[in-house]
Structure formats: structure tokens, C-alpha cells
Amino acid sequence: MKRKLMVIAGLCTVVALLSLSVFAGCGSDASQETATQSGEEATAEFAFPDEDLMGYPLYRENVDKSSVKSNKEESDGEVQEITLDYKTSDSYDTVLAFYKEEVGVPTQTSELAGGYSRAMYDMDEGGYHTVIVITQIKDATAISVMREKQL
């Protein structure tokens, strides 16, 4: 029971940090990647991390490319943790409908100050723990995804 409470407290902290990172702009910029070809630097097309790597489908419509932040931690060539934070100009209801269709009913929903809403998915599958947070913000929807390898 004590371990379960510690895990829940840890998840609440992760969700709070993920939500804050969307607003604060933390993380590395994933909106542009550069590649060196024949000694010249070329800008690659905007791309999300692979959905297989993230573990679940990602909402990809009307994304504000400048808002995309991601981070990946690896050990011995294996991904241990990956995070993705971004915004879309689509409504909260549209994004939530996508995730309800693709993932199912959210683990938790809540009403925020100002009449905004938040939904959270908290899932353990295939040796990974994944949290998806969808937050309604002014004129946009913020999406945060965190996936970490379980011990």
C-alpha cells in the first residue's frame, strides 16, 4: 500500500512537471533536426518521434511546430525514457476524441481554473509506463507524453 502511494505521488509529480514544461518551453527542440551530408548541413523535415518508440498514437493535426520539445534518455543503446511536449491549435474536445478512439477512456479528467480541462492517461504495458496528458489552454491544446522503461 505504501509503495502504491509513493508511485501515485511520483506520477502526480511527473504529470505536473510535464504540464509545466509545455508552458515553460523546457526540453530540447525537436522541431528541426540537422544532418550532415557531404560536409554540408541540411535541415530535416519536421518529425515526431516514432509512434512505436512512444508506445501509442500521437495526435498530429495542426501542430505548432515551434512548440515541440522532446527528450530521450538511452542506456546501452536502449531507450530508458522519452518525453514529448507540444501544442495544437485544435480544440481540447477534438484531441480528447482522438485519444478516446485510439487509447480509450482517460484514467483521470479534471477541471482547471478559468474553465479549462485536463485529461490524463496512465498506462503500464510491455515493460513501459506511459503517461499522456491533454490540457486545454487558451486558443490551443497542450499534449505531453512520457514513456519510461519499468525496472
Q: Which residue did the predictor score with more confidence, 87 or 48?
A: 87
- Using DSSP's 3-state secondary structure scheme, residue 120 falls into strand
- Domain of 78 in residue numbering reads as 2-149
Say how far apart CA 141 and CA 52 lie, in whole Å.
23
> What one-character-per-residue DSSP string does 60-90 give?
-TTB-GGG-EEEEEEETTEEEEEEEEEEESS
**Taking the model in full, what pTM does it have?**
0.70
Query: What does the pLDDT read at residue 46?
Result: 54
Total domain count for the chain? Answer: 1
46-71: pLDDT as tens digits: 567 778 888 899 999 999 999 999 88
Measured distance CA(135)–CA(110) in Å, rounded? 10
Q: Which residue has the higher pLDDT, 128 or 7?
A: 128
Grid coordinates standing for 122?
496512465
